[in-house]
Structure 1
Amino acid sequence: MVWYQQLGKIPPKRHTVFRKEDDSLFREQVMGTKGFSGIQSILYHHNPPTSFFKSAIFRESNPSYEEQSALRPRHFYTDNVNKEPSDAVMGREYVLGNEDLVIGVVNPTKKMDYFYRNGEGDELLFIHHGTGKIESTFGTIYYEPGDYIVIPIGTIYRVEPNPGESKFLVVETTSWITTPKRYRNEFGQLLEHSPFCERDIKGPEELVTYAEEGEFEVRIKKGDHIHSHYFKHHPLDVIGWDGYLYPWKFNIGDFEPITGRIHQPPPVHQTFEGHNFVICSFVPRLYDYHPNAIPAPYYHSNVDSDEVLYYVEGNFMSRKGVKQESITLHPGGIPHGPHPGKVEDSIGKKETLELAVMIDTFRPLKVIKKALELEDENYQYSWVEKK
């Protein structure tokens, strides 16, 4: 779900002469998806975007998964991840993944001293804590807590956090991320019953063009490795662009919850969709208003999906033992639902102040080995009622 945007200077017609003050040409780049049949933007560079003078393999990027283990609910305390000084990409600690995406967290403490491009798919960053900016070939996005930031495949960017605590939830895909199709009409416009609208979505706020020369590294994720390309010009040398492909943000605080007389199922909280996954936002909302309503969710079976929850803030009304920054996994094939006593506790309650991000995948998720250090092994037994 995108619409036309333009920043900076562009010629009146595409694929035509566009000259600098010294009469040399700006270099036009068509950046799009699905060959030339998907969405695209056209960017105008000071230098050819292909002119790297050195390439190298930086490191492997294929996560190492645990061996097959018993089917069970899982819980990970991501507030226990390594908090050594690092940046928003190299500091990522992955927890779960499959063929379609990987899910992790990062506590960025410093500005990236390189640039990054994901050549596999779109990325989504959810800002739990912290403020800062993301500079990209399309311009600058300033972020704050609650922002979802969608970064399209192939975008060169770097993250500069402001001083203070920072924490992101990270979703890296091998495909695309967009808004739910059922909320859009045949022209792509969000419908009246959508829980958000175009006014809530923000693209890059300003385009800063760098013309400096030197040695600049761009790290690219592709396949099982991260590669390095080195340029003699600044990668963010775009003088202008227009089109439908660009980074954008949406704040979870602008999600307007859909409520009803009885408990509404998770799809009403959906915010994004991708290939074989959806992302939902659980936000503060009024509870159900039928006189005999049970606000807590009913027990339900994940017949064909795995359910992941990242807990942001508040007291999640159906769970015990989780806290801010917890990640839970409820795998497909077995039922799950409220902890003992939570159904009874919810009756008569008028509202919830919980905030959480849910990711449902339609292929099984696997646990990354390093995340086992964060696991609460007793979570699987927390539904057993104590006598």
Structure 2
Amino acid sequence: MESVSYLTGFNNEHETEALPGALPVGQFNPQKVAYGLYAEQFSSTAFTAPRAHNRRTWLYRIRPSAVQGDYQSFQQASQLVRTGPITEQAPVPNMLRWSPLPMPSDPTDFVDGLVTLAANGDAATQTGLGVHCYLANQSMSERFFYNADGELLVVPQTGALRLHTECGILDIDAGDIAVIPRGMKFRVVLHGPEARGYLCENYGACFELPERGPVGANGYANDRDFQYPVAAYEDREGAFELICKYGGNFFRAAIGHSPLDVVAWTGNSAPYKYDLARFNVINTVSFDHPDPSIFTVLTSPSDTAGVANCDFVIFPPRWMVADNTFRPPWYHRNIMSEFMGLIKGVYDAKEKGFEPGGASLHNCMSPHGPEAEVFEKASNATLAPQRYENTLAFMFESRYAFTPTRFAMTTSARQQDYVACWNSLKKHFRP
């Protein structure tokens, strides 16, 4: 496929045009737009949101979005997608873990291959998030999708994707992430024969960069490393379908043209990508280690300062140098709930059973930490500077406890003996 260019800078007011002069100068909504285009504003925050948090983009398109068929209920879309609040299954305090879900054998695109493992909050009140896996072996060509319930954070685990969006094209692979605003239309093209990954459906406030506090002006994820697509429009006519997720249900509308027909756009509500290898890890150079919040890439804030609707946290390659310190994550119980996934390699607290493509869930106040073998190994290791290589895990951390779906609790991928990884921890007490 052809290479793609990008604009840089997180949440910047970008402007881009695929045809010269397509963007109006000095105003957003002239009486007549160049090339016979239509002006349309796309808002993913309220009109009166404070300027620092306000997100909107002006789209200059071949046809306005209102040109489409009527929506009808669409039951053929993924039967395993659920939306918070989940009522089919009671919340559980159990520590849960899953092996990677198997790839489908039938032709399955990104939409049909969505499977929900857990959710919290309530999409209708714009709180919480849903956690899904996607499993695909077929590209989307005549089908387009948008999600009215939440912003989408795409975390590929295997198989590269090309995201064709209203604002342009994003290429992502394992080690990248992409964020698609609530309501943004797109289609997913596979670069290879199949793809698998994770999807955070954020019902709450838009993801933003966390504050750095005493760290200062640099570090963590830097604004300049976020990439936005340049305008790239599709002028296609035919018998297409537009799939919408709205209120936890799927709907379908016939549409006679590609809705990705935006010739130019300007604003700050647009899809973006980020290479996780660019994250500047901050850690201790003395003893112990700080809380895992030091690995936060993006945060969706809640109405309580410092308590996130969702933090997206990564555990990337890094040096560990702490003196006289038990270096894996300590045993802990949190007010926050943690859903983890593994993109590649081995996670330092779970050397067995936590596989790339798998997942774990440790809910509010459920105890967790290193398995028995890891504890013994780390407690007796000779401490020297150590490089953690070829590893990349992540966490969706939320103030709201997750409820797993019925599928998540009954699938053969659930590791029923997960809790046994702590059973062989020995008593070392010597009064």
Common fold, TM-score beyond 0.5? Answer: yes
Cα distance change, pair 75–363 in 1 and its aligned pair in 2 (3 A): same
Aligned to 2:137: 109
One-letter identity of the residue aligned with 2:388? T
Is 2:387 the counterpart of 1:351?
yes
Cα distance change, pair 341–14 in 1 and its aligned pair in 2 (3 A): same
Residues 263 and 296 in structure 1, CA contact (< 8 A), matched pair in contact too: no
Aligned to 1:385: 424
Residues 103 and 136 in structure 2, CA contact (< 8 A), matched pair in contact too: no
CA distance in 2, matches of 1:138, 1:342: 46
Aligned to 1:11: 24
Is 2:233 the counterpart of 1:201?
no
Cα distance change, pair 234–66 in 1 and its aligned pair in 2 (3 A): closer
3-state DSSP of counterpart to 2:254: strand
TM-fit CA distance, 1:192: 2.5
1:50-88 deviations in whole A, cap 9, x for unaligned?
A: 121332111385456553365221111124364543111
3-state DSSP of counterpart to 1:259: coil
User: Superposed, which structure 2 residues align to 1:73-92 within 5 Å?
Assistant: 73-80=95-102, 82-92=104-114
Cα distance change, pair 278–330 in 1 and its aligned pair in 2 (3 A): same
1:199-235 deviations in whole A, cap 9, x for unaligned?
A: 311111x422222322321111110311122222321
Residues 23 and 34 in structure 2, CA contact (< 8 A), matched pair in contact too: no
Is 2:67 the counterpart of 1:43?
no
Aligned to 1:272: 298
- Select 2:253's aligned residue among 215, 224, 229: 229
1:154-187 deviations in whole A, cap 9, x for unaligned?
A: 10100001123421211112134423331389xx
- Select 1:369's aligned residue among 406, 410, 413: 406
Aligned to 2:238: 214
Q: Which runs of 5+ in 1 are unaligned?
A: none
Instruction: Report the more deviating stretch, 320-329 or 171-180.
Output: 171-180
CA distance in 2, matches of 1:181, 1:70: 30
User: Superposed, which structure 2 residues align to 1:285-304 within 5 Å?
Assistant: 285-290=318-323, 292-302=324-334, 304=335
- Select 1:153's aligned residue among 149, 174, 182: 182
Residues 372 and 425 in structure 2, CA contact (< 8 A), matched pair in contact too: no
Residues 157 and 356 in structure 2, CA contact (< 8 A), matched pair in contact too: no
Cα distance change, pair 177–288 in 1 and its aligned pair in 2 (3 A): farther
- Select 1:338's aligned residue among 351, 370, 374: 370
Q: Which runs of 5+ in 2 are unaligned?
A: 1-9, 49-53, 122-127, 303-308, 427-431
User: Superposed, which structure 2 residues align to 1:232-251 within 5 Å?
Assistant: 232-251=256-275
TM-fit CA distance, 1:146: 1.0
TM-fit CA distance, 1:386: 6.7
Residues 132 and 200 in structure 2, CA contact (< 8 A), matched pair in contact too: yes
Report the TM-score when normalising by structure 2: 0.82
TM-fit CA distance, 1:117: 0.8
Instruction: Report the more deviating stretch, 149-158 or 109-118.
Output: 109-118
TM-fit CA distance, 1:133: 1.0
Instruction: Report the more deviating stretch, 102-111 or 240-249.
Output: 102-111
Is 2:280 the counterpart of 1:256?
yes
CA distance in 1, matches of 2:196, 2:12: 30
Residues 66 and 367 in structure 1, CA contact (< 8 A), matched pair in contact too: no
CA distance in 2, matches of 1:191, 1:36: 32
Report the TM-score when normalising by structure 1: 0.90
Q: Structure 1 or 2: larger strand share?
A: 1
3-state DSSP of counterpart to 2:314: strand
CA distance in 2, matches of 1:183, 1:386: 37
Instruction: Report the more deviating stretch, 166-175 or 66-75.
Output: 66-75
One-letter identity of the residue aligned with 1:288? V
CA distance in 1, matches of 2:249, 2:90: 24
CA distance in 2, matches of 1:123, 1:301: 28
One-letter identity of the residue aligned with 1:367? P
Cα distance change, pair 311–132 in 1 and its aligned pair in 2 (3 A): closer
Residues 255 and 281 in structure 1, CA contact (< 8 A), matched pair in contact too: no
Is 2:352 the counterpart of 1:315?
no
Aligned to 2:164: 135
3-state DSSP of counterpart to 2:211: helix
CA distance in 1, matches of 2:57, 2:262: 12
One-letter identity of the residue aligned with 2:150? G
CA distance in 1, matches of 2:194, 2:139: 14
One-letter identity of the residue aligned with 1:298? W
Aligned to 1:34: 45
